[in-house]
Structure 1
Amino acid sequence: MTHSMTAYATGTGTQAEFSWQWDLRGVNAKGLDLRLRVPDWIDGLEAQIRAALTKSLGRGSIHLTLRVTNEGSDQALELDQSALKSVLLALAEVETAAHDAMVSLAPTSAADVLGFRGVLEGGQQSQDTASLGKALIADLGPIIDAFCKMRAAEGVSLQLVLLDHLSQIETLSKKAAALAEARKDKTAVSVQRALDTVLQNGREVDPNRLAQELALLAIKADITEEIDRLAAHVKAARDLLAEDIPVGRRLDFLAQEFNREANTLCSKSSDTELTAVGLELKALIEQMREQIQNVE
């Protein structure tokens, strides 16, 4: 089954005075890139979340945000002066660098500053967070499951699109082969006319050299190997799409090979119809390659 790298999942939960909200989103990437925003006052939580995501996902740029609120806390919120100072200094440095580079930045609000990790402290830190951490990790499982199900559902649609592209490539390859076969007689007539012109001009022709040149012309005009390789690539791509493991990287490599054969076919073509088919192949392969970028 083909899996897409695009998906999202959300969820909420509660335990005693705590409530929380998950937000998990994914887009395509070359590898597995995990970007987490989770409370740092729950010991070991980020490491456990990272391990759970790594176990379930192979590729993608994954953004996970977890917001935890202590509804029962009667302690006032406090600013960590040290963290606040560090954030303000960093912002000033960024704004100076942007000004020097003549880059315009949006104004930073007080809410933005308070959103930085460690700036705003509440009463949660004084709580025993071990049981809360366990509840959060238990609640994460269904979130990841829902995320993977959406990836699979998106993958079904993506697989159908790719299979349709492969069928079109197969059809165009057969059309190119038929055109190449049909032009053989025409090519032979053209070569014979050129040869007759040379001989009529009274030029001496080395028979061995003539045979070599004719053989070279035949090789340059023959697209049999390209057609055969395109057929092999179509079969290989279909086999990959039937596998139940991440195949995006291999499909991406295969798309490059598809494009190589289409380029060679166009360069060998001396016929307008065959060139048109080759260009259509290239456009179709590029469309397929763009879709492949989202395959896990």
Structure 2
Amino acid sequence: MPSSMTAFARQTIEAPWGTASWELRSVNHRYLEPGFRMPETVRDIEMPLREMARKYLQRGKVDCTLHLHIAQESGDIAVNQSLARQYIDASQQLAGMMATPAPISPLDILRWPGVLKEPEINRDELNKTLLELFEQALIQLLEGRQREGEKLGQLIEQRLDAIAVQVQSVRNNLPELLKAQRHKILARLEELQVSLDHDRLEQELVLMAQKADVDEELDRLDTHLSEIRRVLKRKEPIGRRLDFLMQELNREANTLSSKSIATDTTNSAVELKVLIEQMREQIQNIE
């Protein structure tokens, strides 16, 4: 069952210490590339978060954003005045190096890490809660990717059916096309009143038929279609395998086009390339 690399998930929790919310956005990527935006105060859990992401996902660029609000107890807001003074002194030193420095805003100072003292909370409990909430978001993301992957699989199956119709059409018309090509050459020779050795003529006609024969290409196309259908049922990442099979399908379609001796065959080869490209675009989003 294919799984898409495109999905979104959000999980929120309210606790006595405040609120936390994880937002996960996933898009297609060659490898798994998780990125984390979170407050520096909880940056120490990034490695466990990455390990958890690898547990559930194989490929995709995943943007993970943590919105964390620690509730302030009633009373005055606690400010680390010593740290704030260090920031102010450093800002003033830099201002002395500039011709027209901008004024220092107290609000800017308050935004610097550590200036506002956070309420005392149990860090172990907080980290455990954030990890559990992240896992819930990952499960929701995975479910969304699977739902979208199922739809992508249906679209690919539709293209496979259309390709099979084109392959069968070429196969059915091939004997008549070769026969018509033979009659056309013989008629042209008779029209030009060209006298050729009968055995040599038959040899040339056989060679011409062999070069125009696309049974082998049609057989390989059927084989690739069967393999793609089989791969779509596998319960593992299949995007790279499908991408390789698209290349093989395209190779056979190109050969079919180069061997074409009739407009119908050429049109079928063109239609095959269009269908293959449509599948390839969908497969780029499959894990």
CA deviation digits over 1:25-66, x for unaligned, max 9?
101111111111122222531111111111100111111001
* Counterpart in the other structure of 2:242: 251
Tell me, yes or no, if structure 1 residue 242 matches structure 2 residue 229: no
> Which residue identity is paired with 2:241?
R
> Which residue identity is paired with 1:58?
Q
* Counterpart in the other structure of 1:101: none
1:50-65 equivalences under 5 Å are 50-65=50-65
* Counterpart in the other structure of 2:78: 75
* Counterpart in the other structure of 1:24: 24
What TM-score results when the alignment is normalised by the length of structure 1? 0.80
1:1-296 equivalences under 5 Å are 1-42=1-42, 44-72=44-72, 74-76=77-79, 81=87, 119-121=112-114, 122-124=116-118, 129-196=123-190, 200-201=193-194, 213-296=204-287
> Which residue identity is paired with 2:233?
A
What TM-score results when the alignment is normalised by the length of structure 2? 0.82
Query: SS of the residue aligned with 1:41?
Result: helix
* Counterpart in the other structure of 1:106: none
Deviation at 1:291, TM superposition (A): 0.7
> Which residue identity is paired with 1:231?
D
Inter-partner Cα distance in structure 1 for 2:203 and 2:55: 60
Deviation at 1:197, TM superposition (A): 6.1
* Counterpart in the other structure of 2:98: none
Inter-partner Cα distance in structure 1 for 2:42 and 2:132: 15
- What stretches of structure 1 of length at least 5 have no aligned partner? 89-109
Inter-partner Cα distance in structure 1 for 2:46 and 2:224: 42
Deviation at 1:140, TM superposition (A): 1.6
- Count of matched residue positions in the alignment of Structure 1 and Structure 2: 264
C-alpha RMSD of matched pairs (Å): 2.9
* Counterpart in the other structure of 1:107: none
Distance change in 2, residues 1:269/1:43 (3 Å):
closer
> Which residue identity is paired with 1:135?
T
Distance change in 2, residues 1:123/1:277 (3 Å):
same
> Which residue identity is paired with 1:271?
A
CA deviation digits over 1:78-136, x for unaligned, max 9?
77849x98xx9xxxxxxxxxxxxxxxxxxxxx9xx99xxx9443323975522211111
Deviation at 1:201, TM superposition (A): 3.9
> Which residue identity is paired with 2:154?
L
Inter-partner Cα distance in structure 2 for 1:133 and 1:197: 90
Inter-partner Cα distance in structure 2 for 1:156 and 1:194: 55
CA deviation digits over 1:260-284, x for unaligned, max 9?
1111111111211111111111111
> Which residue identity is paired with 1:140?
F
- What stretches of structure 2 of length at least 5 have no aligned partner? 95-104
Distance change in 2, residues 1:201/1:171 (3 Å):
closer
Inter-partner Cα distance in structure 1 for 2:130 and 2:44: 12
> Which residue identity is paired with 1:273?
D
Query: SS of the residue aligned with 2:42?
Result: coil
Query: SS of the residue aligned with 1:246?
Result: coil
Q: Which has the larger radius of gyration?
A: 2
CA deviation digits over 1:217-262, x for unaligned, max 9?
2222111111101100100000000111110000011011111111
Inter-partner Cα distance in structure 1 for 2:208 and 2:2: 44
Deviation at 1:195, TM superposition (A): 4.9
**Is contact 1:43-1:129 (8 Å) kept?**
no
Q: Which range moved further: 67-76 or 247-256? A: 67-76
Distance change in 2, residues 1:139/1:194 (3 Å):
same
CA deviation digits over 1:147-172, x for unaligned, max 9?
11111111111111111111111111
Inter-partner Cα distance in structure 2 for 1:5 and 1:201: 64
> Which residue identity is paired with 1:186?
A
Inter-partner Cα distance in structure 2 for 1:213 and 1:149: 61
Query: SS of the residue aligned with 1:44?
Result: helix
Deviation at 1:215, TM superposition (A): 4.0
**Is contact 1:170-1:231 (8 Å) kept?**
yes
